[in-house]
Chains A and B, each alone.
Chain A
Amino acid sequence: QITLKESGLTLVKPTQTLTLTCTLSGRSLTYGGVGVGWVRQPPGKALEWLAIIFWNDDGHYSPSLKNRLTITKDTSKNQVVLTMTDMEAVDTATYYCVHRPRSSVGAFDVWGQGAMVTVSS
């Protein structure tokens, strides 16, 4: 069974950097075709895809946030880390870690429970 768990500080001040870690269990980040990414959802609003990194280190970002986002993976810990700089109130949202099993699926079959991030001074 594949599971994802988000961790990290979830109360950040404006202008600070958010760092979230996703720990993947039940599947290696080096498994062919695997991608792990991030999706966020402001309270009461729609889902927004942020970034993804694949088993071969290929990474992609939302263009609207590209200048603020970095996604990396640590295969020794089976973890993916998302950093978002210059946080502001509009970034308050639940941040989900997501798993794409292989290219032929093209969707997120496993989601983490979510990390509720609040940006406030």
Chain B
Amino acid sequence: DIQMTQSPSSVSASVGDRVTITCRASQGISSWLAWYQQKPGKAPNLLIYTISTLQSGVPSRFSGSGSGTDFTLTISNLQPEDFATYFCQQTHNFPWTFGQGTKVEVK
């Protein structure tokens, strides 16, 4: 199985900040990396797929980058509605696997 390791596990930030979350795969996953946002009590919501493609309707302050095994989700100009937990996922090989999540909290 491909292990997905996110860091940090939590980050404290303020509105207007730039937040960066990292996801590392235990082996190369080509471009098959997605990011999701999850708010308490709700289902996850797809933000980005194939490393950097923004899902329709997702604000442009979200961006993704990386290659090979190291990937990044960046939230620029953090907004109040962005406080949530973020998960990465690889769909390069079965079993598809998720990172453990990164919680973005209010500073």
- Nearest residue (CB) in A for B94 is A60
**Of A46, A60, A61, A105, which is within 8 A of B99 by CB?**
A46
CB <8 Å contact, A106 and B91: yes
Q: Is the interface of B mostly helix, strand, loop or mixed?
A: loop
Beta-carbon contacts of A58-69 to B below 8 Å, as 1s and 0s?
001111100000
CB <8 Å contact, B44 and A46: no
The A-contacting residues of B in range 73-90, CB under 8 angstroms, are: 87, 89
CB <8 Å contact, B95 and A60: yes
Beta-carbon contacts of A66-105 to B below 8 Å, as 1s and 0s?
0000000000000000000000000000001000100011
Whole-angstrom CA separation of A69 from B74 in the bound complex: 36
Q: How large is the interface on B (under 10, 10 to 19, 20 to 34, 35 or more residues)?
A: 20 to 34
A107 at the interface (CB under 8 A from B): yes
B26 at the interface (CB under 8 A from A): no
CB <8 Å contact, B97 and A111: no
Whole-angstrom CA separation of A111 from B34 in the bound complex: 14
8 tightest CB-CB pairs across the interface, nearest first? Answer: A107-B34, A111-B43, A107-B49, A106-B91, A47-B98, A49-B96, A46-B100, A60-B94
Instruction: Knowing that A46-B100, A49-B98 touch, tell me 17 more A-B residue pairs with CB under 8 angstroms.
Output: A46-B87, A47-B36, A47-B101, A49-B95, A60-B94, A63-B1, A64-B95, A96-B43, A105-B49, A105-B50, A106-B34, A106-B49, A107-B46, A107-B89, A111-B43, A111-B44, A114-B43
